[in-house]
Amino acid sequence: MRNLGLATLLLTLPLLGGCVVPVSVTPDLCREMRAQDTLQIRMMFGQTRPGGLPITDSEWQDFMTKEITPRFPSGLTVFNADGQWMNTVTHIVGREPSRILWVVVPADKNLQHNLRAIQAAYRQQFSQQAVGLTIQSGCSLFN
């Protein structure tokens, strides 16, 4: 039994070599490029109300104009996507059209407030259970 564990370990060790990424690669590249420390923020917005009624393009544009653009006036990108999520009440997996908002910004004292305000406004206006949010640190350069 002990030999089996040792054999398994010896066979899997070479595979782990591909999992190691030098930590210094990204910071060095950011400095060399003279890039700014930023956060990449992605928010996921379902485009279907409970009951199946879609959120129209006009409603989305109005929401963007009133809630998102004033909070991120420097720029943003929106992608159309196909989303999948689990209903927290029925535990049934649903699929629906969605939009992904992608914003690249420096850290800011108002950022948390702005993100929470957008999430709350969207959930309330369109009867959504949730608005997805991911935040990733990195660096960016626009030139």
| pLDDT classification of 25: cutoffs 50, 70, 90 | low
pLDDT at 29: 86
- pTM of the complete model: 0.77
pLDDT at 86: 85
- pLDDT tens by residue, 60-90: 999 999 999 999 999 999 999 999 988 888 9
| pLDDT classification of 94: cutoffs 50, 70, 90 | confident
**Residue 47, helix vs strand vs coil:** coil
pLDDT at 27: 75
Residue ranges of the domains in the chain? 35-140
Q: Tell me the C-alpha distance between 122 and 136, whole Å.
A: 22
- The alpha helices in the chain, defined as continuous H runs, are 2-16, 25-33, 57-63, 111-126
Asked if the 35-140 domain carries CATH number 3.30.70.120, the reply is: yes
- pLDDT tens by residue, 28-51: 888 898 999 999 999 999 999 999
Average pLDDT, stretch 6-27?
49
pLDDT at 4 exceeding the cut of 50: no
- pLDDT tens by residue, 106-143: 999 999 999 999 999 999 999 998 999 999 999 999 88
